[in-house]
């Protein structure tokens, strides 16, 4: 569903906009200004110059040390630019609405459409308003980050930049409002930015997060497993860093490209991670239009006029000339008007989106988390800011406490509106269908569906006090299903259905998470490392043996397939023989191969068992195995003796690397995928032959291409001396192919031991024989 802003149907031809994320920013222009955040710690007195030390360890991680926040941002910005200057510079072009100027119209006019959306919605203006609501500390951090990035550009000749952007005219200095605009666009990841693509086929980010407390760890202290699943190239990569502001905080972890500080990581007292929330964060309002004036819509007894905005964008043509194009878009009190084949703008109706996640400003939230002394401090930071509007938070602290909370931006209906919508959810099929796709559908003509404004942290969204959360001493976990099964022994219920369903089947991955956690009585760092890279798929755990038994009845044609599956251990590791056969077989079995249906009284144990063979006719399991064998042979792959790593791969600078992991529907905690979309004007690192031989599995003659999956994998525990951690960044910490850290961790990811120790203590950093120290100083211009 490629939705678009729409011109009036009676005045101009329709134009489709493919830039999903930019479109949703219109909601911010129609809503309230960013909230006034609680005051942060008093900022350090500004110095006359930036002073930062970047200590590069042999694993390619920058450890930034400074005496004030601005200098810390400066050091982090400089280090970040040395790792990812090209990828980030291209994203700044996007948020400035200049992609078409530098890269041409783009595939299917995508860059023109994206620039139109960015400029129609005044993204920079929204970013400046978000900055105005930020604390002095947050603004100092951003200003320093931007100036550090710019320092790297000044220090590096244009022809000394990485090949992807060497001498490129679009690599230019940035200001803090550029940085804020980019972060605003990232904040739309789980709301309208996601919806405006084809929601039915999109691959939203996923994650696993485990937190173990005193009752489930060997030493009685907290332990955290962070396992976000994100794209492996483009703007949604993570970069790893360590930021220390003397006398303030000392935080280690990862963040998305170009976002200052750390969003997943730890300090000496607490560790936290995020998972993509199952909440519904966008309201799709159906507008009732005036039949004589199609840009006029009704709310209750009153008519309202849409607001038109005309913008111009520059487009580079194939001959190098620049052509200026104009466009008119429309917004409502709810948000932008969108149009697609499923959401037509007719003479009688149109559709508008309301995204309560905007404007977003996560900087003060993550400063507060970096200063937190335990899980209660993390909870307060989320409650005060709700600055990352599409995630759950999972945290563990050194005292053995754990906490889960869904701090996402969920639309807050009034009690009457909530009751009316809940009734529609039960009785109106279209409302239920939209809900199943992650969208709240409502009739914009009914004033009862106006949102309440009772949340100072994020207007028109539900306050954290009324959101699902759980504080315990044993464990909490989430794997992108709803809050319901955060702890299997204490299911959560009674919250708004907008936070996701309860009493419905969990994904195989969620169930596999619970199985792996239940297998260990008392966790240590080593036990957590072993379980999170276990690579067993629940589909195989539950059904491999009965499938093999049925296979044995299939005769000589599939006898070798039976032997292969019988010998397989059910894992999707790179050396697993049988995994590729199971993948193609599982796709053939369909969505309901179970003998025992789902039972909400046993949500972790059901559904289970293999449905029996029919009394007459062919056995569908035997037929599925035969089809799987034939399909693999058609792709030139031996069905019986091929290890997964020989055919499942990612590509970096032309080199193939084997990748472990299952497809999501196969049910391991390590899912992999090949994304349908690539939000960058730079080339994809990994490509595959199109179309695939089997669209359901992504099988091609080259095997299974991967550019999405486990990204920053971190295990951190606490002992009497503080935190101890091990990690792996699967796609490595630099996107510069000339760097020794471009593929070093990618090469390790498929091995039996992909882990590396995290150097957090100053003594450990000093002891690194590959330590390289860079001292940065520069007068401050402001």
Whether 729 contacts 754, CB under 8 Å? no
CA distance 711 to 673: 12
Q: At what angle do helices 620-634 and 559-567 cross, to 10 degrees?
A: 90
Q: Work out the pLDDT band at 3, boundaries 50, 70, 90.
A: very low
pLDDT at 209: 99
Tell whether the torsion through CA atoms of 230, 707, 580 and 596 is positive or negative. Answer: positive
- The set of catalytic residues is 207
Mean pLDDT of 88-106: 97
Pairing type for strands 282-290 and 270-276 reads unpaired
Q: Which residue has the higher pLDDT, 118 or 204?
A: 118
Predicted confidence at residue 194, as pLDDT, reads 52
Q: Are 403 and 471 in contact (CB under 8 A)?
A: yes
pLDDT band at 190 (very low <50, low <70, confident <90, very high): low
Q: Domain segments of the chain: what residues?
A: 538-644
d(CA 776, CA 782) in angstroms, rounded, equals 17
Separation of alpha carbons 278 and 492, rounded Å: 14
Q: Which two tokens stand for residue 508?
A: 């195989």
Which residues make Cβ contacts (< 8 Å) with residue 58, sequence separation at least 6? 768, 769, 770, 771
Kind and range of the H or E element at 87? Answer: helix 69-95
Name the band, by pLDDT with cuts 50, 70 and 90, for residue 31.
very low
Cβ(166)–Cβ(69) under 8 Å?
no
Task: Tell me the average pLDDT across 175-198.
Answer: 76
3-state DSSP call for residue 527? helix
Percent of the chain with pLDDT over 70: 92
Q: How far is CA 617 from CA 44, 589, 621, 627, in A?
A: 78, 17, 12, 17
Beta bridge partners of residue 298, listed in sequence order: 303
Rounded Cα distance, 609 and 536, in Å: 17
Q: Is the pLDDT of residue 466 over 90?
A: yes
Q: Which two tokens stand for residue 431?
A: 């409302």
Contact between residue 279 and residue 499 where contact means Cβ atoms under 8 Å apart: yes
Q: For residue 324, what are its two tokens?
A: 């200026």
Q: In the prediction, which pLDDT does 193 show?
A: 59
Question: pLDDT value at position 122?
Answer: 82
Within the chain, how many helices (H) and strands (E) appear?
21, 31
- Residue 366 has which token pair? 């993550």
Q: Quick one: DSSP state of residue 43?
A: P
Give 694: exposed, middle or buried? Use CB within 10 Å, 0-12, 13-18, 19+: buried
Is the per-residue pLDDT at 257 higher than 70?
yes
Instruction: Write out pLDDT tens, residues 578-609.
Output: 999 999 999 999 999 999 999 999 999 999 99
What superfamily would CATH give domain 538-644? Aminohydrolase, alpha-helical knob region (1.10.1400.10)
What is the band of 187 on the pLDDT scale with cuts at 50, 70, 90? confident
- Report CA-CA distances (Å) from 6 to 112, 290, 332: 15, 16, 12
Q: Tell me the CB-side half-sphere exposure of residue 306, using CA atoms within 13 A.
A: 28
User: What is the arithmetic mean of pLDDT over 748-759?
Assistant: 97
| Residues 77, 406: Cα–Cα separation, whole Å | 30
H helices of 96-167, in order, are 99-103, 110-120, 123-133, 136-155
**Dihedral through CA 180, CA 184, CA 187, CA 193, nearest 10?**
-150
Q: List the structure tokens of 214.
A: 């005193």
- Matching residue, tokens 């009734």: 423
Q: Is the pLDDT of residue 158 over 90?
A: yes
Percent of the chain with pLDDT over 90: 84
| 238 has a pLDDT exceeding 80 | yes
Burial per residue of 540-567, b for 16 or more beta-carbon CB atoms within 10 angstroms, e otherwise: bbbbbebbbebbeebeeebeebbebbee
Mean pLDDT for 56-60 is 98
Rounded Cα distance, 77 and 182, in Å: 14
Are the beta carbons of 613 and 645 closer than 8 angstroms? no
Cα dihedral 76, 82, 87, 89 sign: positive
Strands 440-443 and 282-290: parallel
Identify the pLDDT of residue 184.
Answer: 86
The number of residues making up the chain comes to: 782
pLDDT digits (tens, 9 = 90+) for 509-534: 999 999 999 999 999 999 999 999 99
DSSP 405-427: EE----B-B-HHHHHHHHHHHHH
Contact 468, 391 (CB under 8 A): no
HSE, CB side, 13 Å, CA atoms: give it for residue 655.
Answer: 10
Confidence at residue 24, expressed as pLDDT on a 0 to 100 scale: 30
Task: Specify whether the CB–CB gap between 716 and 271 falls below 8 A.
Answer: yes
CA–CA distance, 232 with 709 (Å, rounded to integer)? 7
pLDDT category at 195 given cuts 50, 70, 90 is: very low
Residue 552 backbone phi and psi in degrees, to 5? -60, -20
Cα–Cα distance, 712 to 536 (Å, whole number): 20
Residue bearing tokens 């993509």: 276
Structure tokens at 391: 């995630």
**What pLDDT sits at residue 397?**
99
Say which residues have a Cβ less than 8 Å from residue 221's Cβ, sequence separation at least 6: 214, 398, 399, 400, 717, 718, 719
d(CA 710, CA 736): 20
Q: With cut-offs at 50, 70 and 90, classify the pLDDT of residue 347.
A: confident
CA distances from 218 to 214, 513, 520 (A): 8, 20, 10
Residue 422 has pLDDT above 50, yes or no: yes
Give the residue-averaged pLDDT of 290-303: 96
Query: E strands within 507-642?
Result: 594-596, 608-610
How far is it, in rounded angstroms, from Cα 296 to Cα 222?
Answer: 57
Q: What's the mean pLDDT when you consider all of the chain?
A: 92
Query: What is the C-alpha to C-alpha distance for residues 393 and 403, in angstroms, rounded to an integer?
Result: 8
User: Which DSSP letter does residue 326 get?
Assistant: E
In the block, tokens 């972890």 appear at 253
d(CA 774, CA 348): 64
* Per-residue pLDDT band at 22 (split at 50, 70, 90): very low
Cα distance between residue 432 and residue 446, in whole Å? 18
Backbone angles phi, psi at 624, to 5 degrees: -65, -40
The partner residues of 207 in beta bridges, in order of sequence, read: 228
Residue 40 has pLDDT above 90, yes or no: no
Radius of gyration of the chain (CA): 26
Region 337-366: mean pLDDT is 88
Asked if pLDDT for residue 204 goes beyond 70, the answer is no
Res 41: pLDDT: 42
Give me the half-sphere count of Cα atoms (radius 13 Å) on the Cβ side of residue 314.
Answer: 10
């Amino acid at each position: 569903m490629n939705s678009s802003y729409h011109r009036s149907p009676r005045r101009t031809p329709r134009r489709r906009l493919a830039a999903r994320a930019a479109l949703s920013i219109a909601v911010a222009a129609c809503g309230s200004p960013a909230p006034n955040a609680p005051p942060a710690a008093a900022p350090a007195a500004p110095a006359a110059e930036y002073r930062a030390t970047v200590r590069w360890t042999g694993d390619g991680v920058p450890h930034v040390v400074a005496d004030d926040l601005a200098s810390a941002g400066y050091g982090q910005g400089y280090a970040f630019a040395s790792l990812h200057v090209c990828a980030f510079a291209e994203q700044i072009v996007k948020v400035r609405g200049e992609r078409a100027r530098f890269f041409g119209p783009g595939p299917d006019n995508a860059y023109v459409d994206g620039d139109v959306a960015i400029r129609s919605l005044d993204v920079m203006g929204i970013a400046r308003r978000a900055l105005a609501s930020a604390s002095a500390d947050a603004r100092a951090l951003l200003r320093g980050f931007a100036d550090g990035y710019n320092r790297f550009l000044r220090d590096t000749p244009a022809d000394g930049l990485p090949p992807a952007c060497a001498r490129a005219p679009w690599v230019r200095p940035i200001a803090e409002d550029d940085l804020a605009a980019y972060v605003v666009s990232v904040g739309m990841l789980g709301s309208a930015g996601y919806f405006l693509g084809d929601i039915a086929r999109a691959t939203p980010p996923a994650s696993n997060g485990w937190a173990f407390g005193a009752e489930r760890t060997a030493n009685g202290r907290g332990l955290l497993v962070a396992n976000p699943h994100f794209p492996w190239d483009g703007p949604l990569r993570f970069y790893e860093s360590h930021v220390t502001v003397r006398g303030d905080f000392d935080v280690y972890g990862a963040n998305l490209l170009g976002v200052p500080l750390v969003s997943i990581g730890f300090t000496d007292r607490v560790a936290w991670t995020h998972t993509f929330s199952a909440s519904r964060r966008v309201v799709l309002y159906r507008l009732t239009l005036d039949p004589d004036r199609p840009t006029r819509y009704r709310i209750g007894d009153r008519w309202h006029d849409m607001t038109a905005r005309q913008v111009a964008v520059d487009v580079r043509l194939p001959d190098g000339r620049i052509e200026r194009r104009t466009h008119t878009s429309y917004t409502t009190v709810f948000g932008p008007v969108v149009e697609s084949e499923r959401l037509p703008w007719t003479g009688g109706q149109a559709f508008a989106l309301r995204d309560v996640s905007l404007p977003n400003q996560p900087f003060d939230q993550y400063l507060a988390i970096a200063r937190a002394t335990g899980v209660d401090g993390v909870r307060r930071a989320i409650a005060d800011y709700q600055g990352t509007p599409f995630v759950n938070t999972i945290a563990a602290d050194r005292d053995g406490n754990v906490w889960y909370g869904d701090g996402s931006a969920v639309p807050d209906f009034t009690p009457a509106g909530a009751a009316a919508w809940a009734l529609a959810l039960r009785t109106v099929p279209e409302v239920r269908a939209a809900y199943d796709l992650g969208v709240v559908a409502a009739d914009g003509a009914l004033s009862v569906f106006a949102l309440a404004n009772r949340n100072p942290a994020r207007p028109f969204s539900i306050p954290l006090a009324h959101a699902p959360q759980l504080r315990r001493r044993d464990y909490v976990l989430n794997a992108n299903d709803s809050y319901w099964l955060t702890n299997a022994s204490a299911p959560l219920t009674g919250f708004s259905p907008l936070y996701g369903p309860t009493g419905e089947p969990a994904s195989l991955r969620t169930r596999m998470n619970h199985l792996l956690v239940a297998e260990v009585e008392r966790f240590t760092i080593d036990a957590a490392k072993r379980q999170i890279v276990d690579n067993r798929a629940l589909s195989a755990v539950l059904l491999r043996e009965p499938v093999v038994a049925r296979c044995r009845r299939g005769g000589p044609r599939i006898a070798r397939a039976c032997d292969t599956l019988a010998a397989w251990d059910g894992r999707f590791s790179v050396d697993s023989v049988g995994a590729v056969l199971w993948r193609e077989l599982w796709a053939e079995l369909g969505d309901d191969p179970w003998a025992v249906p789902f039972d909400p009284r046993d949500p972790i144990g059901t559904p289970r068992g293999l449905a029996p063979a029919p009394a007459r006719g062919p056995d569908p399991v035997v037929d599925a195995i035969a089809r799987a064998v034939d399909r693999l042979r058609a792709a030139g792959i031996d069905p019986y003796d091929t290890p997964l790593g020989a055919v499942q791969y990612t590509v970096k600078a032309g080199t193939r690397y084997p990748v472990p992991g299952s497809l999501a529907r196969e049910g391991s905690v390590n899912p992999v995928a090949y994304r349908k979309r690539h939000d960058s004007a730079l080339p994809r690192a990994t490509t595959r032959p199109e179309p695939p031989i089997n669209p359901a599995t992504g099988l091609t003659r080259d095997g299974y291409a991967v550019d999405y999956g486990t990204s920053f994998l971190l295990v951190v525990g606490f002992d009497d001396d503080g935190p101890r951690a091990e990690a792996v960044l699967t796609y490595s910490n630099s996107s510069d192919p000339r760097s020794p850290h471009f593929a070093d961790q990618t090469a390790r990811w498929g091995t039996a031991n992909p882990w590396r120790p995290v150097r957090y203590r100053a003594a450990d950093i000093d002891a690194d024989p590959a330590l390289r120290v860079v001292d940065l100083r520069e007068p401050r211009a402001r």
